[in-house]
A and B are shown apart, each in its own frame.
Chain A
Amino acid sequence: MRLILKHFHPLNKLKRERERYLNKHQVPDNIKALLSAPLPDLDEDIFSLDYLSVDFETSGFDPKYDSLLSVGYLPLINQQLLLSEAVETLINSAENIKAETAVINHIVPEMLEQGKPWAEVLDTLLDELVGKVLIVHGSVVEKRFLNYYIAQQYQLPPLPLLWVDTLQMEKSLHAYKDSSGADDFRLGSIRARHNLPEYSAHGALVDSLATGELYLALLKKCFEGADSRVRHMKFDYSRVF
């Protein structure tokens, strides 16, 4: 019975999925390294995992029509977000920046000219991701753009990566409770509820830092004093299209 449960634990399903992916597809070395790095064991402590908190700034939700403007991330190791390894890169493929998103992101075409090609930026991100769990706030945009890149660049289906989504975590905290006052799930509003400081938004790196801090806070809230083994963690296994 135990073994069966273990077999059906979504994390083990993801494990098998990775094996299948590597068998089925011809993948370049960097993706091979990424997918063959071991996933966390069910009995590992969720606090001891290595993470990478990531945020994409884009000009819209659809990678077919919108562009990836910048990528920001920093590692979370040993429950510490490391500013010394924080990265933020602009991407210079901005043929269709929409004026209204430029207002939000403060990224204008001239700035993007100083950026790097998306392949360089995202391949560096993939290297950085080896052995780490991705942290994002609302995973749809990041998943869509990453999937799109993998399809365009490598002609491969979406990568079976391990994600956590602070937006889903926050929502599940409120699922069983009276949700009054908790219908605002913007990153800044959630952070304020957790007594985290107000960061002057927007920017891929600031948002990834803000997300990383929120993740730590949520993790403490969910697991402090409780059984914090990986098997009890709700990762984000959602697929986006």
Chain B
Amino acid sequence: MPQTLIPNVHDFIATIDPFDKLPKDLQRKIACCIKITYLAKGEQIQFGGDQELRYLYVIRTGSMEQRKHNGMLRAKLGPEDLFGFTFLDKHKESQQDYNAIAIENTLLYLVPHSDLLRLLEEYPDFAEHFAGNVQVRLHSALDVVWSDSEKGIFVKKVSEVASDKIVVADSSTPIRKVAEEIMAVCSPTAVITENGEIVGLITDRDMTKRVIVAGLDYNRPVKEIMTPNPLTIGPNDLVLKASSIMMQNNVRSLPVVEGNKVLGVLTTTHLVRNNRIQAVFLIEKIKYANSVADLTKLTPERQAIFEALVEGKVSGDIIGHVMTMIMDAYNRRLLQIAEGHFGKPPCEFAWIVAGSHARNEVHMLSDQDNAIILADDATAADRIYFQGVAMWVCNALDACAYPLCSGKFMAVNPKWCVPLKVWKASYSKWVANPEYESLLNVTVFLETRWLYGNESFNKELQAHLFSSIKASNVFLSSMVRDSVSVSPPLGIFNSLVLEKSGENSKTLNIKKFAINLLVDLARIYGLSSGSEKAETMARFEHAHEHNLLSEDMLKNVQGSFQFLTQVRLSHQLSALQEGKVPDNNIVPETFGSFERKHLKDAFRIIADLQDYTKLKFNG
């Protein structure tokens, strides 16, 4: 390309996603192939069926509209927007999905398909950016923004973090000998085996407590003081899982075991040493806080952790898990403190959480959704006790910056602090008569997770829910009707969010018009396939395993959900950093061409899944 065109053509495309991801010389080669054309307002692009006549289109000035053959608006595009990716797909029939019409006089840059393919053969590493397939494009977008190296310790495998120094001793070994070996190897933990099978664990702390303090004879076999049936972790498990086990069970080390082979040990020290994120410490502090006042002081620390996770480009589902673990710790600790104030519970009960908290998708805006399942024999007096506890805990959570639920889906609401049989009856009623209103009111309880008290109550309730749904032939389809009643936007056009109706709005409510739509669809797929996991992604995966969702769709949805979550979390982060109250409303001006393009892809995937689901469930 002659030098003088560089500032005008090359520099222009070099700022646009995905060209901006390419090396300079490839950008230049692509710029050299460009053909420039001009469309008058109202003019339509003649898409050539012939491979030779296919192009990737870049709008230089002006604007265009894509419409499906039935006249439905597909997208509105402005300067720097690209279209024509779908035609790059080799297998695509010459029949096109849509028309493109200029809604203003438009100067278009055309990158010939054949040239692009030829160039990408020379630069195969960059081919993904131009994939005709949305899922590949979204995937590469996530890779660009969220590279593996930055994802932090939680998504690493245990084997990458754990130490391979560990003592393995037979159960008959004298305590003193095990202690000597522990000192020699510099490992805080020994795994105790019997006939080659792991039977127990002993740590240097256990030695102090159970031997020295207790004044035990050092020559006794280690078997007598070991912790039997120890928790272990596999080398390929995620550190997140390991740290969660450690926190929940209050243990400081986990042997890394494959089969019966002891490979190493993971200790809290490993986590801290490798981890600038202090989530583990915070959870410890929460556990030992003695008052609501102590707990409220930890809020800034929680926010700092959230910010570090988002800034560290940790993926959205991991952030959700970490923030959920922290919220769990608050909630559990408050229940324990409440018991101190109100006395021991007078009957069996389960404290359950619902909504995003149950789905392990907590973020900085999450409010509390919780409930109590009482034993069926609970008396009126018992209920008064739990109402008191619930009132105290919910207010305390609010004081800890977990706002009260605006829909009053909380244990403090007498409606949601009832015996198991009443819960079951409610579920039966909702499933049998899923009238629009009542269904909308209870979706939050369609995912629940046990947190405290008698776990079996929640299990029983969930089993009841699943069997009721199986027996009903109206429930899922009315859930579908409900969930597809809101459409995702078509895209971001100039500084406006373009709605399907052709209307514009000034901000994008990313929760209401994107993320929640996927959460709702996931719920439908999760409930219909009987998924015990409530995480949005896990529900889709479960549905895929049960042949309700194609591999292709699953991948599309995964990519979209991750991308949307990242956008939302980044938005919350920048609000926090500017000292504002974070919300879900994003002003389109903040989106670059990168976000605009991938948001459009994500919106389209949601719309496609809605259509598909409508057909599948007769919604």
A: residues with CB less than 8 A from B are 72, 79-84, 86-88, 194-197, 199-200, 203-206, 209, 212-213, 216-217, 220-221, 224
Contacts and interface: CB of A to CB of B under 8 A. Distances in A.
Contact of A83 (B35, B38, B61): B35
B5 A220 contact: no
B105 A197 contact: no
Nearest to A77: B35
B38 A220 contact: yes
A196 B107 contact: yes
A83 B32 contact: yes
A196 B109 CA distance: 12
Interface in B1-53: 1-5, 7-9, 12, 31-40, 42-43
B593 to A, nearest CB: 16
B458 to A, nearest CB: 61
A177 B38 CA distance: 24
A8 B32 CA distance: 43
Interface string B521-556: 000000000000000000000000000000000000
B interface, by DSSP: helix, strand, loop or mixed?
mixed
B60 A197 contact: yes
Nearest to A212: B36
10 contacts: A80-B37, A81-B36, A83-B1, A84-B33, A194-B105, A205-B5, A206-B8, A209-B36, A213-B38, A220-B39
A83 B36 contact: yes
Contacts of A203: 4
Contacts of A221: 40
B105 A217 contact: yes
A106 to B, nearest CB: 9
A207 to B, nearest CB: 9
A80 B36 contact: yes
B40 A224 contact: yes
Given A87-B2, A195-B105, A220 B40 contact: yes
Given A196-B61, A197-B61, A81 B104 contact: no
The 6 closest A-B pairs by CB, nearest first: A203-B4, A220-B40, A216-B38, A88-B2, A80-B35, A81-B36
A134 B5 CA distance: 20
B419 interface: no
Given A195-B62, A205-B4, 17 more contacts: A72-B2, A79-B38, A83-B1, A83-B32, A84-B32, A88-B3, A195-B61, A197-B12, A204-B4, A206-B8, A209-B5, A209-B8, A212-B36, A213-B107, A217-B107, A220-B39, A224-B40
B233 interface: no
Contact of A213 (B4, B7, B12, B36): B36
A199 B7 CA distance: 8
Given A195-B61, A196-B107, A81 B35 contact: yes
Contacts of B305: none
B531 to A, nearest CB: 52
B34 A83 contact: yes
B2 A195 contact: no
Contacts of A212: 36
A83 B60 contact: no
A72 B8 CA distance: 15
